[in-house]
Amino acid sequence: MGGEAAVEARGLSKRFGGETAVHSVDLEVAAGEIFGFLGPNGAGKTTTIRMLLGLIRPTTGTASIFGKDIGREFKAAIRHVGAFVEGPAFYPFLSGRRNLRLFGTLSGGASEDRIAEVLEWTGLTAPADKRVSGYSQGMRQRLGIAMALLDEPRLLVLDEPTNGLDPQGTREIRELMVRIRAEENTAILVSSHLLGEMERVCDRVAVIARGRILQQGTLDDIIGDASERVELGVSAEATAQATAFLRERFATEATSTRAGMIEFSRGTLDLGVVNRALIESGLDVHQLTPRRRSLEQAFVTLTGEHSSIR
Amino acid sequence: MSAQTTPGFLVTVGRLVRAEILKLSRYWVVLTGFVAIIVVAIPGAVLSYRGEQAMNVTSASGYEFAFSLMVRSLEFSSTILFVILCILFSIDVANSTIKVILTRPVTRVELLVSKYAVAMLMVLATLALLWTACLGAGAYYYGLGDLRENEYILFGADMMFRNIAIASVFLALAFGAQAALAVTISTYSSTMGGAIIIGLILHSFINALNVLPKTLGFTIGSGEDATLIPYAIVAFTSQLHVPLGRLDDLTAGVPIESWWTPDVQQLVVVCSTASLLFFVLALVRVRNRDFTL
């Protein structure tokens, strides 16, 4: 990557008591890119982000933001950052606008124009003068993001920004990230366990599980590492027979995803040959579809986990 | 882009204090506390006056009425103020707003110093409110001019108010030590309720043991006749300025001409040391705490 890195972490580890939550994490986020930090719940995403922002002290390792060490030059490093860490946080007895004004004071005072702009971006112009205690979860989430955007940051850190949002809200956040990057050239570090969403916006991702970075790179690096998958549709009764046939005849790891549907790795197989062999063995082929692996599938392959991701 | 220079310590503390005042001035719990402080003083004044009328006794002056009312109001107000100050830091931990604050160009030390600054402002506001209410009541019922006996001026009004100001400094010092304790408790708690409960327990102990000498004063007389006149009551800072109600019982011409008495020195030393100790404890906590909320 050329130029100054927005985030650079080297060997970040964190122990809580006898338990190591994060093991020697190396991360690099380039200026102006959208970087996805992916992992299931409890993988160590939020702990890593807290260390990057100085909210908790790393047991070992260093982190810097635009070349400034977060431990030694905290104020110089953090002044370029807008952060939304693990859920929104406000004073519920104040309105959304007053919360923005109040937290803006800490950085020297946000202009009313800027407050209006971030409220408009997050769709909160109408309820801005109502007390936050009356906001829905989605509105609070969006206000949290508005707060992170307030100081025109060069780096936006969003930790699970779509938690608690409906599909429409999730789509809006996704579009907002793309817009912010396009309009303000802001680097965005976004953590999520919603892989489908991340796949659509991220330039690069890092996959973390059980406190360790498993892989880091472009989506093509991660998804393209595995060969394409193939989906085979047969009658429900023939599922077991077809699965066994594929394993024996083509030595491929075929698995039944549900009655009548089988998935297998394509590898170097010629699908025409596979189709002919299935028919000649007396199986009715309803469907034989090559499918590129999704980020989610790549993730499951990498981590062996799937219970807490979508 | 936002400002390119990193703000200095005082600038940041100033911003934090401003934000804190903006916040607290709209928090109903704090507003209720301050209303209670005033509400206690004003009906207290009416009841005291009516009580005096019923018993056929009167205060010797508006000052004495005000001082008497002040000491009763302070007892109650100090508890309210202590409770309010106990939530000063924990409100940000409980609402998780601490993570928003600490991801701004604000260091932990600056944040803590700003909390202490706000605590002291609240102490001064409380004293100002109480003096206003108590002296106002004294003026309303008895007047607050020069203190006279027959045609002689015993103490001029300017001297009375000067002494009130000096005594208020010592009161602020004593209350400041209590405020420092409250903020320190607040830094060790993750919930407002927890901070208040622990705060009330410690406040009761401190009052019972008189650890922080908010009632330190000067001693009049000696031996069995020795009487401690708390500063909280008198606002007189020298034995030369004894409340008129006590003059009849005293030997004239008490030979101490300075308010810098051993008791005052003890108050200054104890309260300053306690404040410093509490601040260091809070600093250790805040600097080393992992905010994992």
Question: B83-133 pLDDT, tens per residue?
Answer: 999 999 999 999 899 999 999 999 999 999 999 999 999 999 999 998 899
Residue A26 in any domain: the answer is: yes
User: 3-state SS string over chain A?
Assistant: CCCCEEEEEEEEEEEECCEEEEEEEEEEEECCCEEEEECCCCCCHHHHHHHHHCCCCCCEEEEEECCEECCCCHHHHHCCEEEECCCCCCCCCCEHHHHHHHHHHCCCCCCHHHHHHHHHHCCCCHHHHCEHHHCCHHHHHHHHHHHHHCCCCCEEEEECCCCCCCHHHHHHHHHHHHHHHHHHCCEEEEEECCHHHHHHHCCEEEEEECCEEEEEEEHHHHHCCCCCEEEEECCHHHHHHHHHHHHHHHCCCCEEEECCEEEEECCCCCHHHHHHHHHHCCCCCCEEEEECCCHHHHHHHHHCCCCCCC
Yes or no, beta carbons of B100 and A50 under 8 Å apart: no
In Å, what is the CA distance from A15 to each residue of A132, B150, B234?
Answer: 35, 78, 56
Average of pLDDT values for A133-162?
A: 92
- Residues A177 and A238 placed together within one structural domain of the fold: no
Which of B10-24, B34-48, B62-76, B210-224 has the largest mean confidence? B10-24
Chain B: residue whose CA lies nearest to A152: B1
Q: What is the span of the domain harbouring residue A251?
A: 229-292
In Å, what is the CA distance from B219 to each residue of A90, B166, B215, B229, B246?
Answer: 51, 18, 12, 6, 12
Chain B: residue whose CA lies nearest to A58: B290
Average of pLDDT values for A212-228?
A: 75
Of B26, B102, B288, the CB nearest to A54: B102
Residues in contact with B13: Cβ distance below 8 Å, sequence separation at least 6, in sequence order: B110, B113, B114, B117
Q: Does A184 touch chain B (CB under 8 A)?
A: no
Residue A77 in any domain: the answer is: yes
Which of B41-45, B67-71, B193-197 has the largest mean confidence? B193-197
Tokens found for residue B43: 């009906």
Residues in contact with A65: Cβ distance below 8 Å, sequence separation at least 6, in sequence order: A6, A7, A52, A77, A78, A80, A81, A155
Q: Does A31 touch chain B (CB under 8 A)?
A: no
Enumerate the residues of chain A whose CB falls inside 8 A of the CB of residue B26.
Answer: 93-94, 98
CATH of the domain at A176: 3.40.50.300
Residue where a domain stops, chosen among A171, A203, A220: A220
Q: Report how far Cα B125 is from the mean position of its chain's Cα atoms.
A: 9
Residues in contact with A4: Cβ distance below 8 Å, sequence separation at least 6, in sequence order: A31, A66, A67
Residue where a domain stops, chosen among A185, A202, A220: A220
Helix (H, G, I), strand (E, B) or coil at B45: helix
Residue corresponding to tokens 């937290």: A103
Reported confidence tier of residue A150, pLDDT bands at 50, 70, 90: very high
pLDDT at position B125 is 93
pLDDT at residue A70 is higher than 90? yes
Mean pLDDT (chain A, rounded): 87
- Residues A46 and A194 placed together within one structural domain of the fold: yes
- Residues A273 and A150 placed together within one structural domain of the fold: no
Residue A307 in any domain: the answer is: no
Residue A238 in any domain: the answer is: yes
Reported confidence tier of residue A49, pLDDT bands at 50, 70, 90: very high
- Residues A180 and A235 placed together within one structural domain of the fold: no
Yes or no, beta carbons of A89 and B99 under 8 Å apart: yes
ipTM above 0.90, yes or no: no
- Residues A71 and A179 placed together within one structural domain of the fold: yes
- Residues A187 and A234 placed together within one structural domain of the fold: no
pLDDT at position A307 is 46
User: What does chain B come to in residues?
Assistant: 293
Could you read off the pLDDT of B227-286 as tens digits, one per residue? 555 544 443 333 344 444 444 444 333 333 456 666 677 778 888 998 999 999 999 999
Residue of A35 and B220 predicted with greater confidence:
A35
Tokens found for residue B163: 């002494």
pLDDT at residue A218 is higher than 80? yes
Between A47-61, A180-194, A221-235, the lowest mean confidence (pLDDT) is in A221-235
Number of domains in chain A: 2
Q: Give residues 12 to 51 of B whose Cβ lies within 8 Å of A.
A: 12, 15-16, 18-19, 22-23, 26-28
Could you read off the pLDDT of A260-275 as tens digits, one per residue? 999 888 878 888 999 9
Biggest CA-to-CA distance, chain B: 73
Residue of A309 and A218 predicted with greater confidence:
A218
Q: What is the number of other CB atoms lying within 10 angstroms of the CB of residue B169?
A: 12
Residue of B200 and B62 predicted with greater confidence:
B200
Enumerate the residues of chain B whose CB falls inside 8 A of the CB of residue A98.
Answer: 22, 26
Q: Does A50 touch chain B (CB under 8 A)?
A: yes
pLDDT at position B110 is 95
Cβ atoms of A42 and A21 within 8 Å: the answer is no
Cβ atoms of A230 and A261 within 8 Å: the answer is no
Tell me, what DSSP letter sits at residue B223?
G
Chain B: residue whose CA lies nearest to A151: B2
Of B2, B97, B102, the CB nearest to A151: B2
Helix (H, G, I), strand (E, B) or coil at B233: helix
Mean pLDDT (chain B, rounded): 78
Q: Report how far Cα B57 is from the mean position of its chain's Cα atoms.
A: 30
- Residues A122 and A203 placed together within one structural domain of the fold: yes
- Residues A167 and A48 placed together within one structural domain of the fold: yes
pLDDT at position B293 is 57
Of B15, B102, B288, the CB nearest to A55: B102
Residues in a beta bridge with A218:
A204
Yes or no, beta carbons of B100 and A147 under 8 Å apart: yes
Residue corresponding to tokens 């390119």: B4
Between A25-39, A89-103, A250-264, the lowest mean confidence (pLDDT) is in A250-264
Chain B: residue whose CA lies nearest to A71: B107
Residue of A146 and B235 predicted with greater confidence:
A146
Of B27, B105, B290, the CB nearest to A107: B105
- Residues A207 and A239 placed together within one structural domain of the fold: no
Residue A49 in any domain: the answer is: yes
pLDDT at residue A109 is higher than 50? yes
Residue A39 in any domain: the answer is: yes
Residue A308 in any domain: the answer is: no
Residue A297 in any domain: the answer is: no
Residue where a domain stops, chosen among A220, A247, A263: A220
- Residues A201 and A287 placed together within one structural domain of the fold: no
- Residues A165 and A239 placed together within one structural domain of the fold: no
Reported confidence tier of residue B154, pLDDT bands at 50, 70, 90: low
Could you read off the pLDDT of B166-208 as tens digits, one per residue? 778 878 888 888 899 999 999 999 899 999 999 889 888 877 7
Yes or no, beta carbons of B16 and A76 under 8 Å apart: no
- Residues A146 and A204 placed together within one structural domain of the fold: yes
Could you read off the pLDDT of A4-45 as tens digits, one per residue? 799 999 999 999 888 899 999 999 999 999 999 988 888 899
Task: Give the residue ranges of DSSP H helices in B55-107.
Answer: 62-94, 97-101
